[in-house]
Amino acid sequence: MSSSNKFTQDSPNTKAGIQASQALINSKNLDEIVDIPLDCFIGEDSKLDSQGYPLYPNGNTVWIKHPDVEAPLNFGKVGFSYTSRVSWSKNKRIKSTKFKCLGVLMCSNDLCDYCGPPPTGKGKIPELMAQHPTCLAPRCSKKLAHIDCEGTHTQVDVDMVTGWSKLTHSGIHGHPWPDSKKPDLLSKAKLAQVIVNNPDTAPFLLRVGRSNAGQAPIKSVNQIHPSLGHKDRLSYLRRDILVKAGLMPAKASDGGGDKLLLDMFHWNHQGLKIISSSFMDNEEHFTFQTQWMAERLMDRDEKNDVYRGGLLSDVTYKFFENGYLLTTSMYCEDLMRWIPVQLTWLRGLKHECEILSCQVVDFSMSQKEGFVQAYMEVFGESDRARVMRLLKGCQEHFCQQVTRVKRNHKIIPPHLESDFAALAMGLLQEKEDGGKTHEEKLEYIRRKFPKVKRWLDWWQMSDVQAMVFPSRRPLTEDLPDADHGLPDKTNAQESMHRIYYMLC
């Protein structure tokens, strides 16, 4: 560290230190700082990065950046959740950025040490707290409380002419520091160095601190920053770093010789089992599953009950250059997220190719027919109606159709948009005591909006309405609560597409 950036850790207890730091905080002209003997002053309880920069400043803290000294990578940034505001001096010479700390989200359980960052959008904190959110720690069901931060002030001033800059902070953060969801700039630089030196090391091996066979072991990237333990974030950052460094391997291989067959043997050896395959016309598919996926399907909860929450299936269209990726997922209580339990490569989307089980699907006829035929074949079921009872439609697709129709002013007058939307969404509600039946609701919509008759007729097809409308869903005698726990939408599965595209 250059002598021009010196620290005085015991200065808070000295009169000279307090006066000097306060003078730096109050100084308006950056030229004045050269006459102040104390260059950098770090208050107690500040959290420093590995370059000595106060990424989490606390108390009276000042950091001066000299024009001829290389600044820390994190200079001008803070680690806590904040909102910022930028202003300029009258002569447009000094750029000032003010940071307002947003506090922390803490669990109401004294035995839980969860500390999360609050949302940064305008009005998002009151909106979140109005929903009474629960703790995000595994197996903790207590409520989260927002601890606000008042009386702190953080500001970064930059002289655009001379290059002098300063970070000043005053006030005390009376709360724990929240866990950061993203790595800071210095952590990203360290991660980039590790990845560039080990371009062939997969994200999982980076997390556990192992390298490829024949190479020296590496430290876990979790030691660089805790957020790098998130596999999806690490995968995204790894790919981004390799692409920028020009080291990203080609997505497609030449496939020469017997490479494809050897790759499939390798997948099986690594635990990705091929549990179903076919090369026959209209049946081309490969279905993969790991032992861990199979075990999750057979897990039992505290009551010794097997999983009955239903499955989600959806197709990712652009993952493969030829064919499609069909992912089937279940909800994992321990991880508190949807996890894939079966991966299938499909040659096409004919209904013969889609082998599914009791689950939520969109209203694709190929998905519906594929489920029905596969179930009847595998379980020897001859009653088509009974199989249809195991399907549930995605209500999100119905909501999207309602939005599309109401914006078509040739069908719905502009001043009646909200009325139509309310009536259409009412079809998703079960009949209340003394309320209208499903047929009465449909008849009222037809009378008030006669131009939507054909649209309603499609949704009234027996197979379709039984999939989406709760009041039209017959249940099997042996599974009277089959609909319980089955989600209303495939959004959880469709959001996984983004993760796939980051990895491919």
Q: Domain boundaries in the chain?
A: 1-100+148-181, 185-244, 259-390+491-503, 395-472
- CB 98, CB 154: distance < 8 Å: yes
Which residues, other chains included, contact 29 with Cβ-Cβ below 8 Å and sequence gap of 6+?
none
For residue 385, what pLDDT is reported?
A: 63
3 state SS for 308-375: CCCEEEEEECCCCCCCEEEEEEEEECCCCEEEEEEEEEECCCCHHHCCCCCEEECCCHHHHHHHHHHH
pLDDT per position in the chain (504 positions), as tens? 333 333 333 343 344 444 444 554 455 454 444 444 445 778 778 899 888 889 999 988 888 888 888 888 999 999 999 999 999 999 989 999 999 999 999 999 988 989 999 999 889 999 999 999 999 888 888 999 999 999 899 999 998 888 888 899 999 998 999 888 889 999 999 999 998 888 888 888 888 876 555 566 778 888 898 888 888 888 889 888 888 887 765 454 454 456 677 778 888 888 888 888 888 887 788 889 999 988 888 887 777 777 766 677 777 777 777 888 888 888 887 777 788 888 888 876 554 333 333 444 444 455 555 556 655 665 566 666 665 555 554 555 567 778 888 888 888 888 888 888 888 888 777 767 777 887 888 888 888 888 888 877 766 664 455 455 555 444 444 444 444 445 544 555 556 656 665 554
In degrees and rounded to multiples of 5, residue 316 shows phi and psi of -100, 120
CA distance 63 to 156: 9
Cα–Cα distance, 204 to 201 (Å, whole number) = 8
The pTM of this model reads: 0.48
Residue 165's DSSP bridge partners are 65, 158
For residue 192, CA distances in Å to 50, 150, 211, 298 come to 16, 37, 16, 40
Sheet of 61-65, strand order: 61-65, 165-170, 153-159, 94-101, 82-88
Q: Are 488 and 395 in contact (CB under 8 A)?
A: yes
Q: Between vectors from CA 279 to CA 273 and to CA 281, what angle results, nearest 5°?
A: 140
C-alpha to C-alpha distance for 330 and 118, rounded to whole angstroms:
28
CB burial of residue 98 (10 Å; 0-12, 13-18, 19+): middle
How large is the greatest C-alpha to C-alpha distance in the chain, in angstroms? 91
- Distance, CA of 381 to CA of 25 (rounded, Å): 78
- Burial label for 249, CB within 10 Å (0-12, 13-18, 19+), is exposed
